[in-house]
Amino acid sequence: MLFYEAQRSGELRNNRIPWRDDSALQDAGWEDEDLTGGYYDGHNYVKFGFTMAFTTTILAWGAVSWPEAFNVANQLDEMHKTIKWATDYFIKCHVKENELYGQVGEFYLTETFWGRPEELPYDMYRPAYKINPEHPGRSYVVGYGINAPQQPRHIASSCPHLPKWCGWKQYRKNESNPQILYGALVSGPNENDEFLDIRYEPDYTNVRIDYNAGFTCVLAKLLQLHSWRSCMSPFSYDRLFN
């Protein structure tokens, strides 16, 4: 569990990592919403909501499946804290009913800085990316919506129907994939909300199982909350989720 504590962002409380302290306390949304907290994704200082959701789901699954093992290791409480650190951040990111921040920070910006997270330059630009009706996440899902991606970077779906040959010609063709990869979330737009629907531009059209798993679970959670809201009284719903 110590690894996850080393990855924490925001104001740290009772952290067991002696060389970590508060960091990225200026993380905020478009309307100055508080987006501090959460976990840095890897070696640098970007926070990805979907991969964080996937990580949290797997950890929670492990805690439910093998609580005795974590208890014997005296880590069950630490596991609960690890999960809560992420869910507290998700609550912050869900700023309105149909608005969710999915990312804070950007790779190309953090790659210019090699140093402690506590020493991130105060004026470093850390963009926040929000999913809302004007910038819908579903518009970057193959097979759904009016402007769904047509050229996901996926070899098999770029191949024509058998018995036609498939090769590099299909990779270079600026045409829609013959096979529709329904439900696949692609990388999506850049920091300027620009999107190039071209299969040989992986920064925009790449597909991977890890962030698609997180996306699936986030959608399931939103659907469940919507179902509960339609069935519960406003008072009960507010007590549980607000």
Lowest mean pLDDT among 93-107, 136-150, 194-208: 136-150
pLDDT class for 235, splitting at 50, 70, 90? low
Q: What is the mean pLDDT of residues 163-189?
A: 93
Q: Regarding predicted confidence, which is higher, 233 or 185?
A: 185
Determine contact, residues 40/46, Cβ cutoff 8 Å.
yes
Looking at residue 223, what is its pLDDT?
Answer: 74
> In whole angstroms, what is the distance from residue 154 CA to residue 182 CA?
12
What's the full length of the chain, in residues? Answer: 242
Mean pLDDT estimate for the chain: 89
Where are the domains positioned within the chain?
2-135
% of the chain surpassing 70 pLDDT: 92
pLDDT at 234 over 70: no
CA distances to 2, 10, 71, 192 from 137, in Å:
33, 26, 39, 15
Distance CA 220, CA 211 (A): 14
Q: What angle do CA 35, 30, 189 make, to 5 degrees?
A: 95
DSSP code, position 28: B
For residue 59, the one-letter residue type is L
Asked whether 215 and 188 are in contact (CB, 8 A), the reply is no
pTM metric for this prediction: 0.68
Structure confidence by residue, pLDDT tens digits, 77-133: 999 999 999 999 999 999 998 899 999 998 777 678 889 999 999 888 999 999 888
Residue 112 CB burial class (10 angstroms; 0-12, 13-18, ≥19): exposed
